[in-house]
A and B are shown apart, each in its own frame.
Chain A
Amino acid sequence: MTDTPAIPARPRPFRPATTEPALVKWSLIGLCLAVLTVLLFAPLYAVFDEALRRGWAFALASLSEPDAQSAIRLTLLVAAITVPLNAAFGIAAAWAITKFDWRGKAWVITFIDLPFSISPVVAGLLFILMFGANSALGMWLVANGLPVVFAVPGIVLATMFITFPFVARELIPVMLEQGRAEEEAALTLGASGWRTFLTVTLPNIRWALLYGVLLCNARAMGEFGAVAVVSGKIRGQTTTMPLMIEMFYNEYLSVAAFTMAGVLALLALVTLTLKSALEWRYADQLAATHRH
């Protein structure tokens, strides 16, 4: 790599010009932690508290049920299909939007955002209207052995819809911030388009890309409303983890329900901690690219 090694720190003034006074810093940290406790950690605590009400063994036993296992498998499968597709879309869209000037950009960006503003209930309804028994397309697909709604393809489509904007929306601000100068320089020096993308753009956007993918993944695994409409909720077949949680809850199996919710939270925490570790591992490299 062409990264320059970190420049040794110059002798610094008492407080560097790029930080805030300690008092300000710690009150900001305290404020953030307080708000997060009230809004985020407390509900999370409530979930785990409920899950472990009858002990670890009971909680874990509820996960070994075949229905629960198949729900976990299905959720992982759906995420594995959805996330790469949306990542590919996000990169393409961010490239087209930030590296070129064309009219109608605001419209296209708004269309990309649109899935967020659509109630998950309506998102599910969209695919029912398109592929349900009352549509010609749906009938034709069922006749040809490829049912979409009340089957895995419908769940994948609904999940893709819900998580569609994540990667694109993560990349666009970063790529706007970075401008086009580096790519233009690489092209002027004779690099091919792909090489420019792989060696100049990708290293610059990798953290944003990682954020986007992780968010997309978390949301894909946690989506309930839209998937509930298109899944058919067949136990062991089209039931994802969030649907299984609702079923458990409705059947007064709250330990099982909250244990599975805890598993979703832990899955997210594991991937996110992985990201943190990666970031930490490459912290020097990151700092170097920032400073040079």
Chain B
Amino acid sequence: MIHAVAVASHGLAQGPLVTRLPDGRLVVAAGGRRVTGRPLTARQTTGWKAAAGALIALASAFTAPGVSAQTLLNVSYDPTRELYRDYNAWFADWWEAQGNPRPTLQTSHGGSGAQARAVIDGLGAHVVTLALASDIDAIASRTDLIPEDWQSLLPHNASPYTSTIVLLVREGNPRDIQDWNDLIREDVAVITPNPKTSGGARWNYLAAWAYAERNGLDPREFVADIYRNVPVLDTAARGSTTTFAQRGIGDVLLAWENEAYLALKELGEDQFDIIVPSVSVLAEPPVALVEGNLGDDATRALATAYLEQLYSPEAQAMALRHFYRAWDTSAADPEDVARFPELERLTIEDFGGWAVVQPEHFGDGGIFDQIYVGQ
């Protein structure tokens, strides 16, 4: 039997009855937490009031959180699901061990840019863990939810784990692709998503740009030559992986390192090889508190701990296990650490920071758009 109760702090809650208190109040289990409140009286539950109450209860049962101190919504991007599933389970235990009630941890996954847009448009995220700093910058500049200096509030540019861009080729590397300059050869077809719609693809583009600068080539021309070899421009990283791995299109896939390892694991290690180029980028998927959505101190404490614990040895080991490069290897399986070869990685600061790079390269009419106007 579902009971509806009125709770002083946030209206109504509804759920199976847990227990009746002597003072007449009820405890119900609502959305994984226990709520104590006065039962709605018969008079309250008659007529349109009942309808309205039920509607509100229904709505709040389904809607974005913000209702309870013990609920936390992490708005993340696509390939982090496994990582945050493990981390949420670990963190819930840890938080409970600190003497707190067990929290309800919710996650939302989607394209990084679309997720940032959802937060701007009102999705009640408490923390964001996105692919690009520029996506969190967008939230900070378009709303009051996140302070402008968010990236200095947590260690390592607020990036608990990092990745890089590597080249995935077919087994045995039949086209003998060793570095970025092989991608402009006429006999090589390159698969990469569209940097306009995929955050990861911006790193692909920048890594190629960095190589050209390092080797005294005209980066604009070099990058344009690579995109001339791209037969299919998928909208997201996953689409490109499918095009390359399952449709058999192209000779080389430009991919996030963690995605390349994941693809290897899921689609067959004997089909592809990972080639590490001479220079690549330090891709930093950053995290931030969404200050404006925290509501009360309890939520703030929970959300703060959630992000801080991402830097704990246990969480870092988890990130390493999920093919991210993490900072603290003390608790990690040595095998997970040894997987990653050393290579020179340029940071976004080497390109002038996202505030410069985003409009100049990927904005409307930017350098990437010009590649396709010139054709």
Residues of A whose CB lies within 8 Å of any CB of B are: 74, 128, 132-134, 138, 142, 145-147, 149-153, 228-229, 232-238, 247, 249-252
Contact = CB atoms under 8 A, between A and B. Distances in A.
Most interface-central of A128, A132, A147 (chain B CB within 10 A): A147
Interface of B: 10-11, 55-56, 58-60, 62-64, 73, 78-79, 81-82, 106-110, 114-115, 118, 120-124, 143, 236, 238, 262-263, 265-267
Given A235-B107, A252-B262, A147 B78 contact: no
Given A152-B59, A152-B63, A238-B64, A132 B109 contact: no
A142 B109 contact: no
A229 to B, nearest CB: 8
Contact of A250 (B120, B236, B265): B236
8 contacts: A134-B121, A145-B60, A147-B124, A149-B122, A151-B59, A232-B108, A233-B108, A250-B79
Given A151-B63, A251-B82, A252-B266, A232 B238 contact: no
A133 B114 CA distance: 15
Contact of B108 (A133, A142, A147, A234): A234
Nearest to B59: A146
B52 to A, nearest CB: 10
The 9 closest A-B pairs by CB, nearest first: A133-B122, A151-B63, A132-B121, A252-B266, A152-B62, A250-B78, A232-B123, A150-B123, A233-B108
B124 A150 contact: yes
A238 B56 CA distance: 16
A205 B78 CA distance: 46
A249 to B, nearest CB: 7
A145 B120 CA distance: 19
B81 A249 contact: no
A232 B128 CA distance: 13
Contact of B110 (A74, A128, A152, A228): A228
Contacts of A128: 121
A228 B78 CA distance: 14
A150 B63 contact: yes
A142 B107 contact: no
Contacts of B82: 251
Contacts of B63: 147, 150-152, 237-238
Contact of B58 (A152, A234, A251): A152
Contacts of B115: 233
A170 to B, nearest CB: 30
A250 B109 contact: yes
Contact of B81 (A152, A153, A238, A247): A247
A133 B143 CA distance: 10
Given A147-B64, A153-B59, A249 B238 contact: yes
A133 B142 CA distance: 11
Contacts of B106: 234-237
Contacts of B81: 247, 251
Given A146-B56, A150-B63, A233 B263 contact: no
Contacts of A149: 121-123
A250 B238 contact: yes
A233 B62 contact: no
B107 A232 contact: no
B300 to A, nearest CB: 20
Nearest to B55: A146
B236 A252 contact: no
Nearest to A155: B62
Contacts of B73: 234
A79 to B, nearest CB: 15
A153 B59 CA distance: 7
Given A234-B108, A247-B81, A251-B82, 16 more contacts: A128-B121, A145-B59, A147-B64, A147-B124, A150-B122, A150-B123, A151-B59, A151-B62, A152-B58, A233-B108, A233-B115, A234-B64, A238-B62, A251-B78, A252-B238, A252-B265
